[in-house]
Amino acid sequence: MKTSAHATSRTLVKDAHRATAPREHIHLQGWVRTRRDSRMLSFVELNDGSCLRGMQIIVNATLPDYASLMQRSATGASISVHGQLVPSQGSGQRWEVVARDYTVIGEVDAAYPLQKKGHTLEFLRAHAHLRARTNLFGAVFRMRSRLAFAVHEFFQQRGFYYVHTPIITASDCEGAGEMFNVTTLDLATPPRTPAGEVDYSRDFFGQRTSLTVSGQLEGETYACALSNIYTFGPTFRAENSNTSRHAAEFWMIEPEAAFLDLDGDMQLAEDFVTHLIRDTFEKGAEEMAFFNQYVDKGLISRLEFVLTRPFQRCSYTEAVRILDAATTHGRVWERDVKWGDNLQSEHERFLTEEHFKSPVVVHDYPRALKPFYMRANDDGRTVRAMDVLVPGVGEIIGGSQREERLDVLLSNLGAHGLDAHEYAWYADLRRYGTVPHSGFGMGFERLLMFATGMANIRDVIPYARTPGNAGF
Ligand code: 4AD
Ligand code: MG
């Protein structure tokens, strides 16, 4: 038996709060959130980020060096405390720690930006390297970690294999031209072709490459071998849209399943979203209660509602009819919508928040709006696409059944102005044992916005990359 207090290993605050009996020795390490001094003792709130709550440390004035220790224990200082875990005298917590040995590890200088008063989200974005030390961002990023785990859990339980698709790629999956180039060429004097264009054949990869906008195409090749796969990785889009829901670097989850049609795909998407929300209720109750109180008072009731009722489904054509009817009843839009137009965020929000008042899956979009790989319907005008729209966020998932017919795929490539040569490997899947298959992509940050009520994508990713901003 070790008897020295110093020999006890560190306990995390979240485990200390779960104690069922007092403990003679406990060792905590963390950062000072607040300190309150009275005549004979000080109360120091230690937070180590392991959970929302901190631990109250009682420091008696009889401790050696008491005055100097407390003077150095300002908000933000790091401390190490050995002491006794005892039932709390105060209200609001079960346990507190009476310090026996108290050390200041790192002092904090007077410029520490996080003081007790509340800070705006803008201020905290400018201090992104420190914001995880606040209650709000601690909660967001614990939630992010837990949900990432739940993503894997969902697919692993269903027999989906995790595939690592490349980050550097030569193909533009979405065909939208929103790619960040990857090059080692000297931008001031790049090699040029006789025609005067940049000669990428002399670049690092011998061809023009970019950061991936989606792992789908490579994912399809693995689904057509392992049957059910998913990817979960960083994704890049050089969209110059400064909105609260777009980031230039975000994390996407892309399942892909062979022998699955669009109906099955929509069901998979619904099961996935509800699994993640249920997991949040089960394992993130403390954070949920916090978000519901401080971020979005309707959060819990909205998410509970999502779990009680199947997602609504509605074709694009039907959606346009609903929007039309709303216009007829006096609804005014920033941009009107007619068949063939992209649904704008305001339309998507109307459908999910006001019309259906629940998550809704819109399917069978006009062919002209969608990428080359989506399966054409017999009507010649629409493709087997689907988007999942949720209240408060709008589009959280986009997916489709894939075109498995070689001739149709090749003609689509042509119609989209893509070089069939570059997509030869993708077309091969349709030559060698083609199968109907489907998949979708979920923006992990969009999911987090939905699950936390946070209104800006910049506040659910540790270091946001948006137009004009790549700090930290
Ligand atoms: O709808 P998208 O563009 O679909 C695809 O990329 C398909 N290849 C997916 C597939 O079928 N495997 O993107 C999928 C999702 C969107 O619904 C959205 O949640 C998220 O990715 N997303 C973004 N999230 C944050 N910032 C951006 N700029 C995003 N662009 C898309
Ligand atoms: Mg989309």
Q: What local confidence, expressed as pLDDT, does residue 91 receive?
A: 76
Helices vs. strands in the chain: H and E counts, helices first: 13, 16
Ligand nearest the Cα of residue 343 is 2
Query: What six digits make up the tokens of 344?
Result: 């704008």
* Distance from the alpha carbon of residue 425 to the mean position of ligand 1, in angstroms: 23
pTM: 0.96
* Distance from the alpha carbon of residue 375 to the mean position of ligand 1, in angstroms: 18
Distance CA 199, CA 202 (A): 6
- Which of 64, 60, 62 has the alpha carbon at shortest distance from 98? 60
Query: What six digits make up the tokens of 108?
Result: 């904090």
* Distance from the alpha carbon of residue 233 to the mean position of ligand 2, in angstroms: 17
Which band of pLDDT confidence, cut at 50, 70 and 90, is reported for residue 2?
very low
Q: What local confidence, expressed as pLDDT, does residue 309 receive?
A: 87
Ligand 1 atom index nearest CA of 447? 19
Per-residue pLDDT at 179 exceeds 70: yes
Helix (H, G, I), strand (E, B) or coil at 33: strand
Share above pLDDT 90 across residues of the chain, in percent, rounded to a whole number? 93
Which residues have C-beta atoms less than 6 Å from ligand 1? 173-174, 214, 216, 237, 239, 246-247, 250, 252, 254, 395-400, 439-443, 445-446, 457
Which band of pLDDT confidence, cut at 50, 70 and 90, is reported for residue 6?
low
Nearest-CA residue for ligand 1 atom 18 is 443
Per-residue pLDDT at 307 exceeds 60: yes
The DSSP bridge pattern shows strands 95-106 and 55-60 to be parallel
Sheet of 228-236: strands edge to edge? 161-162, 228-236, 249-258, 437-443, 394-401, 382-390, 360-366, 312-315
In this structure, the dihedral spanned by the alpha carbons of residues 311, 315, 321 and 323, taken in order and rounded to 10 degrees, is 50
Which band of pLDDT confidence, cut at 50, 70 and 90, is reported for residue 5?
very low
Tell me the per-residue pLDDT of 132-168, one tens digit each, with 9 for 90 and over. Answer: 999 999 999 999 999 999 999 999 999 999 999 999 9
Question: Can you point out the beta strands (E) in 158-291?
Answer: 161-162, 168-169, 181-182, 209-211, 228-236, 249-258
- Tell me the mean pLDDT in the region 399-405: 98
Angle ∠(228,168,190) on CA atoms, nearest 5 = 160
Q: What local confidence, expressed as pLDDT, does residue 268 receive?
A: 98
CB-CB contact of 103 with 80 (8 Å): yes
Nearest-CA residue for ligand 1 atom 22 is 443
Ligand nearest the Cα of residue 248 is 1
In what helix (H) or strand (E) does residue 92 lie, and over which residues does it extend?
Answer: none
Ligand 1 atom index nearest CA of 399? 11
Q: What local confidence, expressed as pLDDT, does residue 3 receive?
A: 47
CB-CB contact of 356 with 391 (8 Å): no
User: Per-residue DSSP letters for 103-134?
Assistant: EEEE---TT-S--SS---HHHHHHTTTTGGGS
- Tell me the mean pLDDT in the region 43-47: 98
* Distance from the alpha carbon of residue 397 to the mean position of ligand 1, in angstroms: 7
Ligand nearest the Cα of residue 246 is 1
Q: What local confidence, expressed as pLDDT, does residue 395 receive?
A: 96
- Tell me the mean pLDDT in the region 249-278: 98
Residue 107 has phi, psi (to 5 degrees) of -75, 170
* Distance from the alpha carbon of residue 174 to the mean position of ligand 2, in angstroms: 9
Average pLDDT, the chain: 95
